[in-house]
Structure formats: structure tokens, C-alpha cells
Amino acid sequence: MYFFVNDYNDIGRDDILQALVKASSENNYGYGFDKHSENARKLIKKALANENIDIHFIPGGTGANVLGLACGMQQENSVLAVKTGHIQGHEAGSIEATGIKIETIISPNGKLSLELLKEKFAHFGSEYLTVPKKVYISNTTELGEVYRKKELEEIYNFCKENDLYLFMDGARLAHALASQKCDYNLKDIPNLCDIFYLGGTKNGFLFTEALVIVNDKLKKNFINLQKQKGSLMAKTFVAGIMYETVFAKENGYLETAEIAYKMAETLANGIVNKGFNLAYPFESNQIFVKLDDKDLEKWQEFASFEIMEKENGSNIVRLVTSYRTKKEEVEGFLAKIQDKKLDF
């Protein structure tokens, strides 16, 4: 079976595994006060060309989103996010469990635009409503889209003008940066939002995300909040070793995502050339395809992937590549699927 279910299906990158084995006999301080975590922070700051950021290692994406959105917030505050945003439909109400409401915005795709943000924000001001304080976006989006620099600048400028913080979910940030659609680099990210994270779980790490706080107003007492929400690891040095290993290499953070992108590009082009329609434009390592019931049943005979939803009689399925996806797997899968252009 060809496996295109997700990009977190293996234990981890070989260089990370080797580094962990090498450090297995060490004694380390806990809770992030160890030499590996400290060195990892230095390397990340260098990669981001910013010495004034705070970096915290969080076990997973849900925890990173909870902490990234809860810090600096009051109980009357809310978060603005598109309805397709990961925090809305995939995290079991974890944001609302902090006492902060998500105010959703309907978008024709997975992106938040300046126009949609302006329209939604204009509705607030009454004592009957919440007080928006943060804006949530994910890059890539849930539909695999990549924000362009102009889009991010427009949203961030609006946030700054209206006393809002901008939070970027970076679970697949490496995949956004590896995309040919991306017109900025890693060093630009701290200038485009107040807080974000460098996703590891979906980029070849065993687990963990590196939450980066840019805005000084969000830094105060963060480690206390992290402990309260159950995301302060005693063995943070394990995360430190992983980020230290990857960021010690030139382009280390993006090299895995670049492999995933190349494989996804070949896969997406092959699917289109076979006469199938993409549900959303191809931009990253997530590919969404429209299949009728007959083709869905055929594909399931030789491949594993997610069925996302049914739309106008078509099944929308998602295929995801990772750094472990081989050219032979992609070519083998494409050879198996029927050419719709020859299906009379």
C-alpha cells in the first residue's frame, strides 16, 4: 500500500536519532535550563536573525496553539480565525477551554484575507460581544495554501493598527517556506507576526514545536502559563537536542520539507495529467483531489489517504507527502491510477 495519510508517520530523522543516542548517557538539567536547549535557542535566533525573541519548546501543536493564543489575553478577549482553521475543528475545544472564544470568519478557501478581517472586526464594539485581541492564521493553511508576503504584511499591519496580536500556527511552516509559491524566507517571519512556532512534529522530529515570541508584551510569565497548561516538559533537553541538531546545519530546517514539496509536486502534476481535478490549487505537501465513488474505491485498493468531505457528489481526498516519500512510491502510485482522459 502506498501511504499518503500524513507527514508525521515515522519516528524521526536519522540525524536526530543519532544525536539522541549520542546523548543517551548524559545527565541534563530539566525544564529547558540545559545546555542543549540553550544552544538550540541560540541557533534558532541566528537562523531568524533576531536576538530579541523568546523561544519555548512545546510537546505538540495543540499545546503550542493553546499557549500561543492564551498568552497575554483577558477573559473578555477572543480570537479571530477562519472557519477552516485548525483550532476551530481539530482541537476538541482546547482554545475555548482556556475561557477564550474563537470568533469564526467564513472564507472561500483556507486563507484569511485583509478584506475578510476588516469586515469581521467591524462587527465588534458592543458590550454584548467579546473583545477581539488575537488573529489566528496557519501557514500552510488547512487546505495546503501558502500565504504570500503581501498578504501577511496587510494582515499584520491591520493588527498593529487595531491593537490586535497576530499568531501564526507553524505546524507546517517549513513546508510553506519550501514551496515555490513562497516569496519570503525564515528570517522574514519575526517581522510578519507577533508570535509563531517552528513546527517539528510534521517536519521529521520525534515530536515538539518551538514557539517563538516576538512581541515583548506576550513574554511575561509565559513559563508559568506553560506549566499550568501541562506543556512544560521535564525532559525539555530532548527537544533541545532535536532543534540543536537540525538548526546546526545550513538549511537544516527546510531540507526535509523541500523533499516533501518535490515529491508532492510530482504527485500533483501526475494526478492532473491523468485527468483528475484538484479540489484546491497545489501549493505545498498537501494535495486535495476530487474523486467519484468509483475512483475512490479503486484508489483505496492500493493507497492509504484521508477522505476529507463530500462536495457536490464528489469525495474530496487528501494525499500528504513527507521527507520519507520516495520517487518510486510516487511513480508507482501514478502508474496504478486509471487515466481519466482514456476512460470513455
Q: What is the pLDDT of residue 343?
A: 57
Q: What is the pLDDT of residue 209?
A: 98
What does the alpha-carbon distance between residue 233 and residue 295 come to, in Å, rounded to a whole number?
45
* Band (258; pLDDT cuts 50, 70, 90): very high
Give yes or no: residues 238 and 102 share one domain.
yes
Give yes or no: residues 189 and 203 share one domain.
yes
| Model confidence, pTM | 0.96
Structural domain of residue 290, as residue ranges?
2-7+254-342
Give yes or no: residues 158 and 306 share one domain.
no
As given in the structure block, the three cell numbers for residue 5 are 495519510
Q: Residue range 110-119: average pLDDT?
A: 98
Tally the domains of the chain.
2
As given in the structure block, the three cell numbers for residue 234 are 521535564
Give yes or no: residues 248 and 266 share one domain.
no
Q: What is the pLDDT of residue 342?
A: 61
From 252, 284, 316, the end of a domain falls on: 252
The CATH number of whichever domain residue 44 belongs to comes to 3.40.640.10
CB 172 within 8 A of CB 194: no
* Band (313; pLDDT cuts 50, 70, 90): confident
Give yes or no: residues 258 and 247 share one domain.
no
What does the alpha-carbon distance between residue 156 and residue 158 come to, in Å, rounded to a whole number?
5
- DSSP letters, 204-259, are T-SS-EEEEE-SGGGTTTHHHHHHHTT---TTHHHHHHHHHHHHTSTTHHHHHHHH
What does the alpha-carbon distance between residue 125 and residue 122 come to, in Å, rounded to a whole number?
8
Give yes or no: residues 180 and 102 share one domain.
yes
Could you report how far apart the first and last alpha carbons of the chain are, in Å? 27
What does the alpha-carbon distance between residue 155 and residue 208 come to, in Å, rounded to a whole number?
27
Mean pLDDT estimate for the chain: 96
From 252, 269, 293, the end of a domain falls on: 252
Give yes or no: residues 170 and 245 share one domain.
yes
Give yes or no: residues 243 and 264 share one domain.
no
Tell how strand 195-199 and strand 209-213 pair up. Answer: antiparallel
Q: Residue range 263-275: average pLDDT?
A: 97
Give yes or no: residues 268 and 331 share one domain.
yes
CB 197 within 8 A of CB 207: no
Give yes or no: residues 192 and 62 share one domain.
yes
The CATH number of whichever domain residue 336 belongs to comes to 3.90.1150.10
pLDDT over 50 at 215, yes or no: yes
Give yes or no: residues 244 and 292 share one domain.
no
3-state secondary structure of 312: coil
Give yes or no: residues 279 and 219 share one domain.
no
**Each residue's pLDDT tens digit, 59-68:** 999 999 999 9
CB 339 within 8 A of CB 274: yes
What does the alpha-carbon distance between residue 78 and residue 69 come to, in Å, rounded to a whole number?
9
Q: What is the pLDDT of residue 344?
A: 46
From 219, 235, 252, the end of a domain falls on: 252
